């Protein structure tokens, strides 16, 4: 086992594309690290550099305490699992798993023992004499994992290994890979663009955007304390609601104006003093769908926002209530560029919302209670769970 350390790593392709920009990231010994981000953000390039399949333009890459920039892939002692897990069709499962060991002239008895141990871990013991065409997609994926495990490498590198499986199998394999990583304790770097894989599998997540690392942290930390608008809108589904706000002072109290409504901030809000520095300035306010609270259940003294119910989507045991808020959408281009959901909401749609002084937001609640479409109600807000971002830089304000 070993750590993998990226020290100021930059990758520039021959055509000038900067795919990875000054990446500083440590995957600790035994850690399961997920690298996540939208298409083209540089995740695969980062992984391929660790594998030795891509030259490093600048910086140092360490496996353990050894700089490996110029080390051939085969000398790095790491195993890769790709989305296309090419198995040899004419070989049995045993032979497929044993292949990397046979290549190294390992004694037959040891090969047998290692293959059997890997097959036990992966639930493939009964299939060792079969050929790949007789296995299901999930079983074949496990064989590919087996081939990586038998080598007992210092680290695993996985590039979207589940993307070719159907939805049900993905759920199953997700849990199996997570369990296997925890059992074996092998340092793992896992690339995906799948939210759920990112949130559920790794010890920590690294979020990338346009080659630049945005934030590294445990899943809950990224969800609860996103460092900027990009992470805030990328992590979480449905995405965090974003509205334009303005910090102001009324009768000595710091408030946030949202449309014609006002939310007092000082109560229960850590860092309210920092926000005071933003008096008379526009900010982006972020509200997770689960932090718009059931109007029929909450304490009427809580701050709230009036909103009209547009549509209810029942997804037992939950429901998504689509609301129209009397407020301004986030229109500043800099903020929009920074938000990951920019392509989900078309500019035209946002302009219409702006014209009508309405913002579309989503509340997530347990199903059961009914919300009449077309009705306007006051949705309570737990101020402690609000997020505030600088409208220009997209950085979090507290
Ligand atoms: P995806 O999720 O779509 O696989 P990714 O986050 O893994 O994307 P990369 O494949 O690492 O992203 O690509 C990062 C950037 O580098 C992209 O802009 C891509 O077009 C570019 N790129 C990748 N490979 C090459 C190459 N061989 N030559 C030039 N540019 C490349």
**Pocket test residue of 10, 18, 19 for ligand 1, highest count of atoms within 8 A of CB:** 19
Separation of CA 45 and ligand 1 centre (Å): 6
Distances (CA, A) of 269 to 124, 276, 301: 53, 12, 16
Q: What is the pLDDT of residue 169?
A: 79
To 5 degrees, how large is the angle CA 223–CA 350–CA 265? 50
Nearest to 369 by CA among 317, 334, 327: 317
Q: What is the pLDDT of residue 343?
A: 53
Q: What is the pLDDT of residue 33?
A: 98
- Residue 301 buriedness (CB in 10 A; 0-12 / 13-18 / 19+): exposed
**Pocket test residue of 40, 41, 234 for ligand 1, highest count of atoms within 8 A of CB:** 40
The reply to whether omega before 238 is within 30° of 0 (cis) is: yes
To 5 degrees, how large is the angle CA 272–CA 273–CA 277? 110
Separation of CA 91 and ligand 1 centre (Å): 34
Residue owning the nearest CA to atom 27 of ligand 1 = 13
Separation of CA 21 and ligand 1 centre (Å): 13
Query: Which atom of ligand 1 lies nearest, measured to the CA of 45?
Result: 11
Residue owning the nearest CA to atom 29 of ligand 1 = 13
Query: Which atom of ligand 1 lies nearest, measured to the CA of 48?
Result: 11
Q: What is the pLDDT of residue 24?
A: 98
Q: What is the Rg, in whole angstroms, of the alpha carbon atoms belonging to the chain?
A: 25
Burial of 138-152, coded b for 16+ CB within 10 Å and e otherwise, reads: bbbbbbbbbbbbbbe
Q: What is the pLDDT of residue 67?
A: 97
Separation of CA 142 and ligand 1 centre (Å): 27
CA dist 106 and 258 (Å) reads 68
In the chain, where the domains are located: 4-233, 234-295+302-390
**Pocket test residue of 10, 15, 34, 44 for ligand 1, highest count of atoms within 8 A of CB:** 44
Mapped onto helix, strand or coil, the DSSP state of residue 128 is: coil
- Neighbouring CB atoms inside 10 A of 172's CB total 13
In sequence order, the 6+-apart residues with CB closer than 8 A to the CB of 13 are 19
**Pocket test residue of 14, 15, 42, 57 for ligand 1, highest count of atoms within 8 A of CB:** 42
Separation of CA 40 and ligand 1 centre (Å): 5
Residue owning the nearest CA to atom 16 of ligand 1 = 19
Query: Which residues form the pocket of ligand 1, taking CB atoms under 6 Å from any ligand atom?
Result: 13, 15, 17, 19, 37, 39-45, 193
Mean pLDDT by 10 residues, the chain (398 residues): 96 97 98 94 96 96 96 92 82 94 89 92 90 89 89 92 82 88 94 92 96 97 94 90 90 88 75 78 93 81 89 94 86 64 61 76 91 91 90 86
Provide the greatest CA pair distance for the chain: 82
Reading the block at residue 161, the tokens are 């290994």
Length of the chain: 398
Pick the CATH number of 4-233 from 3.20.110.10, 3.40.630.30, 3.40.50.300, 3.30.70.20: 3.40.50.300
Q: What is the pLDDT of residue 137?
A: 83
Query: Which atom of ligand 1 lies nearest, measured to the CA of 211?
Result: 14
Q: What is the pLDDT of residue 334?
A: 62
Distances (CA, A) of 321 to 259, 263, 310, 325, 364: 20, 21, 8, 12, 6
Burial of 57-67, coded b for 16+ CB within 10 Å and e otherwise, reads: eebebbbeeee
Residue owning the nearest CA to atom 21 of ligand 1 = 19
Separation of CA 123 and ligand 1 centre (Å): 35
* Residues 10 and 58: beta-carbon distance below 8 Å: yes
Query: Which atom of ligand 1 lies nearest, measured to the CA of 15?
Result: 29
Residue 260: beta bridge partners?
none
Q: What is the pLDDT of residue 227?
A: 94
CA dist 389 and 351 (Å) reads 21
Mapped onto helix, strand or coil, the DSSP state of residue 393 is: coil
Quick one: angle between helices 108-122 and 137-149, nearest 10? 130
Mapped onto helix, strand or coil, the DSSP state of residue 277 is: coil
Separation of CA 42 and ligand 1 centre (Å): 6
């Amino acid at each position: 086992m070993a750590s993998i350390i990226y020290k100021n790593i930059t990758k520039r392709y021959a055509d000038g594309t900067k795919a990875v920009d000054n990446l500083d990231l440590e995957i600790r010994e035994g850690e399961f690290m997920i690298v996540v981000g939208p298409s083209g953000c540089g995740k695969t390039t980062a992984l391929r550099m660790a594998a030795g399949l891509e030259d490093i333009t600048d910086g140092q890459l360490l496996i353990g305490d050894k700089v490996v920039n110029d080390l051939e892939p085969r000398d790095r002692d790491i195993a890769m699992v790709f989305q296309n897990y090419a198995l040899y069709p004419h070989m049995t499962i045993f032979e497929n798993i044993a292949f990397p060991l046979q290549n190294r002239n390992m004694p037959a008895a040891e090969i047998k023992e290692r293959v059997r141990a890997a097959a036990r871990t992966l639930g493939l013991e009964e299939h060792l004499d079969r050929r790949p065409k007789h296995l299901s997609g999930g079983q074949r994926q496990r064989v590919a994992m087996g081939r990586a495990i038998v080598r007992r490498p210092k680290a695993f590198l996985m590039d979207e290994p589940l993307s070719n499986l159907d939805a049900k199998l993905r759920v199953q394999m997700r849990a199996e890979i997570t369990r296997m990583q925890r059992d074996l304790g092998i340092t793992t770097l896992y690339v995906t663009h799948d939210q759920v894989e990112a949130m559920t599998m790794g010890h920590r997540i690294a979020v990338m955007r346009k080659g630049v690392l945005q934030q590294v942290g445990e899943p809950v930390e990224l969800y609860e304390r996103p460092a900027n608008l990009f992470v805030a809108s990328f992590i979480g589904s449905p995405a965090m609601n974003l509205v334009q706000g303005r910090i102001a002072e009324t009768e000595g109290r710091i408030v946030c104006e949202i449309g014609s409504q006002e939310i007092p901030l000082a109560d229960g809000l850590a860092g309210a003093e920092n926000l005071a520095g933003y008096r008379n300035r526009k900010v982006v306010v972020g509200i997770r769908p689960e932090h718009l609270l059931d109007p029929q259940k909450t304490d009427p003294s809580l701050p709230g926002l009036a909103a009209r119910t547009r549509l209810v989507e029942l997804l037992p045991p939950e429901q998504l209530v689509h609301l129209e808020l009397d407020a301004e959408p986030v229109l500043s281009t800099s903020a929009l560029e920074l938000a990951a959901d920019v392509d989900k909401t078309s500019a035209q749609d946002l302009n219409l919302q702006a014209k009508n002084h309405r913002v579309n937001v989503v509340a997530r609640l347990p199903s059961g209670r009914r919300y009449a479409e077309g009705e306007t109600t006051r949705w309570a807000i737990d101020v402690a769970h609000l997020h505030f971002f600088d409208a220009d830089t997209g950085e979090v304000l507290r």
